[in-house]
Copies of this chain bind each other. A is one copy, B any other.
Amino acid sequence: MSGDQLSTIDTLARELTFGRGEMIFQEGDRGNGFYIVATGKIKVFKLSFEGKEQILHIYGPGHTFGEVPVFEGKSFPASSMALEPSTILFLPRDAFVDLITATPALAMNMLADLSRRLRAFTVQIENLSLKEVPARLAAYILTLARESAPDNDPEQMPGKVTLPISKAQLANLIGTTPETVSRIFKKMADAGLITVQTKDILIQDPDGLSELSDVGRL
């Protein structure tokens, strides 16, 4: 987004603060606006009938979320909660729709953003239905490493990553349980792929990890 667009948005937005664990919206709520993370970290997730959780996204500063109902009408398809103390900008629907209608470049940005999100879901569905847990975990570690590489240059992938969330949240994100995450980390370590030190993961064998993320058998 250009600086111009951002400053216009500033005048439209209301700033909200949430403590760790506070709900931002609930699945089924009528959405009359959407959100931008200013500081902190939030998750968007679904709960099953029995209370099991599947995380759909985890977003930090700069990310927008909750815009599906803005464009589609209807209600939020999932719920959202602050993972740590966070400040969130809320953009009311009507003013934003006016703005985006008047600003083709903003509309194109929004289309690109939703498209990226569709791609991300595509990958998540592939992971959940076509890969086993070891492959999903390997893929997650590699994604983390790639994201934190300077210039996103895969050649500069760091040898150490730090988990940005608890292992329990990580389990929910990749569609499994904390117990299983723990066991697979152990197996990966035994196989010489990584070393786990609390929240830090040393990547011993990037190629091996990469193969595991495709082939999936440990």
Binding site for B on A (CB under 8 A): 46-49, 52, 54, 56, 67-74, 77-78, 97, 100-102, 104, 107-108, 110-112, 114-119, 121-126, 128-131, 175, 214-216
| Residue of B56, B77, B130 touching A46 (CB-CB under 8 A) | B130
On whether A71 and B130 interact (CB within 8 A), knowing A56-B125, A125-B125, the answer reads no
Distance of A100 from chain B, by nearest CB (Å): 8
Distance of A177 from chain B, by nearest CB (Å): 12
Distance of A59 from chain B, by nearest CB (Å): 14
A-B pairs with beta carbons under 8 Å apart, 23 shown: A48-B126, A48-B130, A49-B130, A49-B215, A54-B129, A67-B115, A68-B115, A68-B119, A71-B111, A71-B115, A72-B116, A74-B119, A100-B108, A101-B107, A101-B108, A102-B104, A104-B107, A107-B107, A107-B111, A111-B111, A121-B121, A128-B129, A128-B175
Known A100-B104, A121-B121, A125-B125; 10 more pairs at CB < 8 Å: A54-B126, A54-B129, A71-B115, A77-B122, A77-B123, A100-B111, A101-B104, A114-B118, A121-B125, A129-B175
* Residues in B neighbouring A56, C-beta threshold 8 A: 122, 125
Contact A125–B128 (Cβ < 8 Å): yes
Cα-based distance from A72 to B69 in the complex (angstroms): 21
* Residues in B neighbouring A68, C-beta threshold 8 A: 115, 118-119
Q: Which 5 A-B pairs have the closest CB atoms?
A: A48-B130, A72-B115, A121-B121, A71-B111, A71-B115
Contact B72–A122 (Cβ < 8 Å): no
* Residues in B neighbouring A49, C-beta threshold 8 A: 130, 214-216
Q: Which residue of B lies closest to A110 (CB)?
A: B111
* Residues in B neighbouring A123, C-beta threshold 8 A: 77
